[in-house]
């Protein structure tokens, strides 16, 4: 048989050249079609940029010269004055103007964890500086709020009076009473989460700003010791938080969580021993949880503990760490619908994870984050996930995380992006005082409490200011969503909804770039 050789291009006829060009173009078209149909052409880099903008909308205090959200201005400049302490700064948690310490700390922990896990991807998207600014805005406030070793200011403002008022933060006339935890009014959950946030942030700033990282660690260690020595739930000491951010899970998860982040930040064995020795009595290896949130840290704790298993120096603790891992995998499997039927997370008909009616998207974003991190762990350690429904590879875990993210960005029955400002269709009437009232820059006239309700709250028109990057509460259990300002269960957004998305958007941004490179390489090889 005659040996066939590939013709040299220089000797090819005009017809064969035309054929090669046509084949090249057809291949390019097929690849482009494949990319757009499989991912609906979601721009994760754009979503990442927008998610970080949201934190600038939520800033309290004196805004910096480089503030990008220009419809906001300075606010809360006398916070702490009545108590003789400087509590200017920090974040408003949602659509109102109370500064709640527990959800603010969890927001900063998740932003920091996003940078720890996905620093390169965030940097590749050109957003690392913005991510670090978002973290530092929170940690600068925590440094102020931790006025002595056993005192932490827990809240500024009062939820009850705040909710009677519909005002821009710049016009605020509501009470700015500040509340603290101390030796006689302990709050181990709040102290623990704030310690976790500062320890995780110390890891973020370790190389670029070592002095600041050291300062954060100093505060984190003191707060952990305070929380561990004077144990109690903060909502028992501060009745004002009960209606808004009650600590249902107690404080044991936060103390374990803080100890684990302190171990990662300091490499000090005493913190690891705390996580190991109290694993059983504090519920670390007892609770199989199907949510991860500002209140319930167990799933995150269990996942971080699991990752210690692959390091040789932790072999002596492998028995306890394996128990942490089994609970972490229960969480992951429950999200994947691969546990026993009664132990899986419910889903909407279109496949969105559904935990509860009020602000369900917070649980979707944290789940997507944990799934993404665990997928990377499985891949890097060349392992599989063991569920009741069988073994699962890292690709399947990541694909499910992506399905949740794509639902958020518009792949859903409403064809709506629940990330405000992203895509052609998104919520226009977000339940948010500042966004729903004409900007202070447009109208410098004072707008009072009732005037805000009378003139702005009930308006049918879209909000005058777009709350870019906010993840709203989202659809109900049947994938339905009503875009109305008074529908706060669905249209209010919170900082801890968006924070976990920062890392996940960065991850999928990099994945899409890699896919494009591979496809272009495939075309080039023809």
Instruction: Measure the CA–CA gap between 21 and 11, rounded to whole angstroms.
Output: 16
- Quick one: which of 196, 197, 195, 217 has its CA closest to 206? 217
Would strands 152-156 and 178-181 be described as parallel, antiparallel, or unpaired? Answer: antiparallel
Instruction: Measure the CA–CA gap between 410 and 400, rounded to whole angstroms.
Output: 15
The encoded tokens of residue 151 equal 């005192």
What Rg value do the Cα atoms of the chain yield, rounded?
A: 25
- Quick one: which of 367, 359, 376, 442 has its CA closest to 401? 367
- Quick one: which of 503, 507, 499, 500 has its CA closest to 137? 499
Residue written as token pair 């309700």 = 453
Q: How far is CA 134 from CA 126, 213, 225, 502, 511, in A?
A: 14, 15, 26, 11, 24
Give the active site residue among 97, 130, 330, 431. 431
**What number of other Cβ atoms are within 10 A of residue 187's Cβ?**
32
The encoded tokens of residue 403 equal 């399905």
74 among known catalytic residues: no
Q: Is 90 left (phi over 0), alpha (psi -120 to 50) or beta?
A: left
Q: Report yes or no: 374 and 330 within 8 Å, Cβ to Cβ.
A: no
Backbone angles phi, psi at 400, to 5 degrees: -70, -40
Residues with a known catalytic role: 431
């Amino acid at each position: 048989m005659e040996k066939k050789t590939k013709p040299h291009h220089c000797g090819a006829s005009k017809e064969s050249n035309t054929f090669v060009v046509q084949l090249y173009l057809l291949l390019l078209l097929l690849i482009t079609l494949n990319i757009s149909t499989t991912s609906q052409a979601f721009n994760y880099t754009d979503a990442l940029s927008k998610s970080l903008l949201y934190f600038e909308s939520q800033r309290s205090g004196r805004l910096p010269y480089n503030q990008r959200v220009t419809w906001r201005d300075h606010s809360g400049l006398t916070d702490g004055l009545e108590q003789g302490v400087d509590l200017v700064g920090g974040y408003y948690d949602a659509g109102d103007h109370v500064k709640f310490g527990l959800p603010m700390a969890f927001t900063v922990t998740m932003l920091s964890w996003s940078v720890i896990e996905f620093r390169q991807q965030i940097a590749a998207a050109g957003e690392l500086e913005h991510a670090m600014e978002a973290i530092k805005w929170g940690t600068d406030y925590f440094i102020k709020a931790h006025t002595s070793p056993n005192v932490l200011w827990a809240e500024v403002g009062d939820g009850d009076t705040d909710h009677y008022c519909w005002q821009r933060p710049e016009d605020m006339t509501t009470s700015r009473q500040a509340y603290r935890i101390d030796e006689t009014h302990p709050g181990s959950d709040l102290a623990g989460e704030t310690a976790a946030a500062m320890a995780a942030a110390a890891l973020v700033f370790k190389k670029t700003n070592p002095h600041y990282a050291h300062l954060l660690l100093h505060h984190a260690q003191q707060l952990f010791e305070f929380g561990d020595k004077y144990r109690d739930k903060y909502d028992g000491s501060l009745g004002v938080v009960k209606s808004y951010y009650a600590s249902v899970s107690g404080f044991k998860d936060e103390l374990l969580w803080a100890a684990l982040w302190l171990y990662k930040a300091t490499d000090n064995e005493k913190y690891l021993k705390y996580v190991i020795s109290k694993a059983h009595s504090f519920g670390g290896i007892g609770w199989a949880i199907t949510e991860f949130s500002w209140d319930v840290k167990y799933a995150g704790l269990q996942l971080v503990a699991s990752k210690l298993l692959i390091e040789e120096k932790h072999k002596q603790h492998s028995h306890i760490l394996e128990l942490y891992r089994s609970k972490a995998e229960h969480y992951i499997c429950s999200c994947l619908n691969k546990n026993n039927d009664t132990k899986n997370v419910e889903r909407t008909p279109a496949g969105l994870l559904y935990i509860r009616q009020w602000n369900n998207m917070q649980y979707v974003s944290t789940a997507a984050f944990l799934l993404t991190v665990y997928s990377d762990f499985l891949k890097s350690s060349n392992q599989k996930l063991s569920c009741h429904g069988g073994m699962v590879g890292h690709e399947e875990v990541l694909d499910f995380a992506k399905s949740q993210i794509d639902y958020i960005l518009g792949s859903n029955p409403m064809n709506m992006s629940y990330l405000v400002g992203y895509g052609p269709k998104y919520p226009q009437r977000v339940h948010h005082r500042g966004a729903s009232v004409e900007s202070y820059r447009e109208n410098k006239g004072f707008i009072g409490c009732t005037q805000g309700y009378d003139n702005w709250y009930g308006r049918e028109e879209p909000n005058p200011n777009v709350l870019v990057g906010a993840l709203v509460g989202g659809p109900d259990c049947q994938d339905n969503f009503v875009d109305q300002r008074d529908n706060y269960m669905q249209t209010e957004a919170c900082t801890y909804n968006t924070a976990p998305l920062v890392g996940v958007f960065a991850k999928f941004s990099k994945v899409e770039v890699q896919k494009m490179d591979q496809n272009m390489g495939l075309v080039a090889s023809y």
